[in-house]
Each structure stands twice: as C-alpha cells, then as structure tokens.
Structure 1
Amino acid sequence: MTTVDASPLGRKLRAFVALSDVEFAVLSRLHQRRRSFAAGHALLHQGHSQRSAYILASGWACSYKTLPTGTRQIVDFQIPGDILGLRSVLLQASDHFIEALTDIEVSEVLPSELFEAFRETPRLAAAVLWAASRDEAVVVEHMIDIGRRSAEERVAHFLLEMGFRLSLVGLADKTGYPCPLSQFHLADALGLSAVHVNRVLRKLREDGLVTFRRGNVHFDDPGGLIAFADFDTAYLDQERPLLQ
C-alpha cells in the first residue's frame, strides 16, 4: 500500500472506487504542497476570492457563515480525508468561512493542478465528485437535524454521524472516537444554546446511550443510540458499518 493509498483521502476514495497505481500516482501529486496551520487560522474567508483547495491530512476544521449581527451558523465540520474549498475555487467568491479548529496539516492544491489531474484520470475525478456529493448530503442531513429533530435526537444523530465519517478514515471504532469539539461548537452547528447542549448531553449519558467527556465520545449503548436517533446511514453512502 502506498503512502497516499493509506492517507485519509486515499482511504475515503477507496470506499467508492478501486483506484489504480496510475491514479494514485496522480493523487500523490496533489499532496506535494504540504502546509501546517494553527488552531483558529482561517483558510477561507466569506466574500473573498479563493485560489486554492486543501486536502485535510490531520486535525479538524469547520465551515460556517456569519450574519450581520455577528452570529454564526456552523454548516459542517471537516475531518482528515476531506477536501476543503473545492466549491470556492469554482465560484467568484467564497460563500463561507473555513477555520482550523485544531492545529491542522493540509496539502494545498491549485485549481490548475486539480483540473489537470481530472483530465488525466477521469476515474479519480469521479471519486472526488462522489466525495463532494457525499459532503453535500451531510449538509442536507444537518438541515433535517435543525428543522425536524428534537434537541436530543439531533445531538445523538450528529455524534453518530461523526463516528461513521471518522471510521471511514480509521479514526473511530464501535467504542467511540476522540472529539475536539466544545459544547459551543455543537450549539452553533445544531441550532441550540450551549446550556441546552449541556443538558442534552447529560440526559443522553444518564440514559446510558453516549458519553461525551474530556474530548472523547464513548458509545455506551451503540444499538440503543442508533434506534433513538433513527439513524440511517444511506445518506453517507458508506457500506462498511461502524458498529460490528
């Protein structure tokens, strides 16, 4: 297995299609420009033109939009294997911010490099399109969270979703996963107050379903949590189950 084959993005794309050695060689070229950013660094700025996309190799980031009042809505969280700013390189200006939540390592990819890679390897382009479509499906599910699920259901659903996403790149298992998010992050993503998030997490813990404490999510009753959240993995298009 090559280094890129074993990378988070390589593992993620292999869930969709078996890439050849030639295609992995092209993918490897997109990983050559490595950069590191500290927590709090903004990779994309809402309203600004964007010249690069980024492949997230380690750490967590989030995408969000701000309102004139100064409040923000977190749209999604990015984890290793995700491509950041792909949509923004095609638009005249970015429609959102992307900020590092932890120290992160990325590979910077120029649009010309991305388009050349797609021209050379249409199957790689199709795999990246699958990843982008899956990310869009995740954002749509977040709309369902905010609009139709109770506070307890949306928190449970979100914690399960992150577990399944992380498992695809080898960063979670049936017991849980490390999670750097604060209750304020969950509040901004799920349309709740931080105080309400705290109450919900306490209730889910007291009900024996899941414990989120000291930077770790632990699934106390995985099957019960899935049933409670009515969690269906179809939108993740992910065959390998987390809970086996």
Structure 2
Amino acid sequence: MTIAANSPLTRKLSTFVALSEVELAVLERLHQRRRTFAAGRDMVHQGQSGQAAFILSAGWVCSYKIQADGTRQIVDFQIPGDFLGLRSVLLRTSDHSFEPVGDIEAAEVMASDLLEALAETPRLATAIFWAASRDEAMVVEHLVSIGRRDADARMAHFLLELGSRLALVGMGSRDGYDCPLTQYHMADALGLSAVHVNRVLRQLREAGLVTVRDGHVTFRDLDRLADLAGFDPEYLDHSGPLLK
C-alpha cells in the first residue's frame, strides 16, 4: 500500500471527493519528503519566510502567537491529516509559529511542488481548498468561543470539535479519543488560566458529561455535552460522524 493511500490527509479529503488514481499519485508525491520533529522545538517561527508547508502524518502540533508581554495565544491545534503552513507558503511569511506537542511525523512540501500539484489536478486543488476553508471556519468558531461562550461551554465546544475532527480521520468516536494536550495547552487556547481549566474540567466530570484524564478524553454523555456547548458540526462541513 502506498503512503498516500493510507494517510490521514487522504482519508479526510476523500470525504469531500472520490480521489482518482491520478490524484492519489499526486498525493503520493507530496508525501515523499518525510521528516520527524521533536516535541517542543518549533518547526516554523513567527515571521519566518521562505519555508515549506507540511502534511502532518502522526502526532499533534499547536500553532501560536507570542504577544509583546511574552504570553502565548494558541490559535489552533493540528492533528494528523492537516496541512501546516499552507497560508504562509502563499503569503511568503508565517504570521505564527508551529510547535509539536509531542514527537511528530510530517511530510515537507515545497511551495513549487504544491503549486505544480494543484495546477495538475484541479479536483484535488478544490479538495485542499475545502480543507483550508474548514480551518477558517474553525477559527471563526474559536473567536466566538473566546468572545461569547462561558468557560464550561467553551471547553465543551473545544473537546467536541477535536473529537469530530479526529473521528473524520478514524482517530475518535462517540466514546472519546486520545489527547496529548496538557491543561496549560487548553488554557492558552481557550483564554483561561490553568487553574480555571482544572476547575471547569472537574465540573464537567462531576456533571457526568466528559472526563479528561491520563491523555484520554472520555465522553460520558455526548448529547448533553453538545447541548451545553451549543455544538453544531455543520461548520466543519461533514456529516458529523462523532454525533451520529
């Protein structure tokens, strides 16, 4: 079996369009330059120019910005099947940094190879544009969460979104999913303190909704958790396999 045929990116794009043999061959080319990165060492720095994009194959990454006072705002978490730095390749300069949460594997994709692949296979280009549009829709939801949702709903929405994204690539289910994030990661993503994150997770656990423990998220009552969050997976533009 080829690399691309079994990759999380292929599984994700296949939910949008049935990929042809030609398109799979192009994806295979994009997966050839495989690299590993150690946890905690930035793959791309904020303000860096001329870098490649990456297709994440294994492990999690956080994208973040550092503020003038040294505080960190995590913009999003990338999971297997996601592109890293796609926008930065086209805009030539990265407006945020990428840091592996744990040791990861990724395929490095040079800008010239990516543009050639998109020109060669317009349907694949459309599928990748769909994936990028989902990423933009998630950023909108994150803005709503930080600006308008209370802490319980914010955390619930965050955990459900991750679960839905992971279910799409076969790494999550109604029961839960493995999650390497610390409470400090969650705090920097949700605009909360680590102490507040701990309190919210305890409240959700005591309410019988969800448990986050030992690197695993366990859904106790998925429907009630979705009601609390006001979670509607339509913005992810797939059929919501987590909530089926």
Normalised by the shorter chain, which TM-score bucket?
Answer: over 0.9
Do the aligned residues in 2 keep the contact of 1:201 with 1:212 (CA within 8 Å)? yes
Q: Aligned partners of 1:56, 1:241: CA distance in 2, in Å?
A: 21
User: 1:164 maps to what in 2?
Assistant: 164
Q: Aligned partners of 1:148, 1:205: CA distance in 2, in Å?
A: 23
Q: Aligned partners of 2:120, 2:198: CA distance in 1, in Å?
A: 50
User: 1:115 maps to what in 2?
Assistant: 115
SS of the equivalent of 1:54 reads: strand
Q: Cα offset for 1:15?
A: 1.0
User: 1:29 maps to what in 2?
Assistant: 29
Do the aligned residues in 2 keep the contact of 1:209 with 1:219 (CA within 8 Å)? yes
Equivalent pairs: percent with the same residue?
Answer: 65
Q: Aligned partners of 2:196, 2:55: CA distance in 1, in Å?
A: 34
**Normalised TM-score (structure 1):** 0.98
User: 1:65 maps to what in 2?
Assistant: 65
Q: Cα offset for 1:240?
A: 4.4
User: 1:92 maps to what in 2?
Assistant: 92
User: 1:225 maps to what in 2?
Assistant: 225
Larger displacement relative to structure 2 (106-115 or 88-97)? 88-97
Gaps of 5+ in 2: none
Do the aligned residues in 1 keep the contact of 2:233 with 2:240 (CA within 8 Å)? no
Do the aligned residues in 1 keep the contact of 2:9 with 2:55 (CA within 8 Å)? yes
Amino acid at match of 1:46: Q
Do the aligned residues in 1 keep the contact of 2:168 with 2:241 (CA within 8 Å)? no
Q: Cα offset for 1:228?
A: 1.1
Do the aligned residues in 1 keep the contact of 2:44 with 2:51 (CA within 8 Å)? no
Which runs of at least 4 in structure 1 moved beyond 3 Å after TM superposition? Answer: none
Gaps of 5+ in 1: none
SS of the equivalent of 2:43 reads: strand
Do the aligned residues in 2 keep the contact of 1:48 with 1:94 (CA within 8 Å)? yes
Task: Encode CA deviations 1:114-145: one digit per residue, 9 max, x unaligned.
Answer: 01101110001111110011011111100000
Equivalence map 1:108-187=2 (5 Å): 108-187=108-187
Equivalence map 1:200-215=2 (5 Å): 200-215=200-215
Q: Cα offset for 1:6?
A: 2.5
Q: Cα offset for 1:188?
A: 0.3
**Normalised TM-score (structure 2):** 0.98
Q: Aligned partners of 1:16, 1:70: CA distance in 2, in Å?
A: 40
Aligned-residue RMSD, C-alpha:
1.0
User: 1:237 maps to what in 2?
Assistant: 237
SS of the equivalent of 2:188 reads: helix
Do the aligned residues in 2 keep the contact of 1:58 with 1:79 (CA within 8 Å)? yes
Amino acid at match of 2:42: A
Aligned residues: 244
Q: Cα offset for 1:51?
A: 2.2
Task: Encode CA deviations 1:26-51: one digit per residue, 9 max, x unaligned.
Answer: 11000000000110121111111032
Q: Cα offset for 1:19?
A: 1.0
User: 1:189 maps to what in 2?
Assistant: 189
Do the aligned residues in 2 keep the contact of 1:44 with 1:50 (CA within 8 Å)? no
Do the aligned residues in 2 keep the contact of 1:56 with 1:82 (CA within 8 Å)? yes
Equivalence map 1:42-61=2 (5 Å): 42-61=42-61
Q: Which has the higher helix share?
A: 2
Task: Encode CA deviations 1:52-81: one digit per residue, 9 max, x unaligned.
Answer: 000000000010111111001000000000
Amino acid at match of 2:71: T
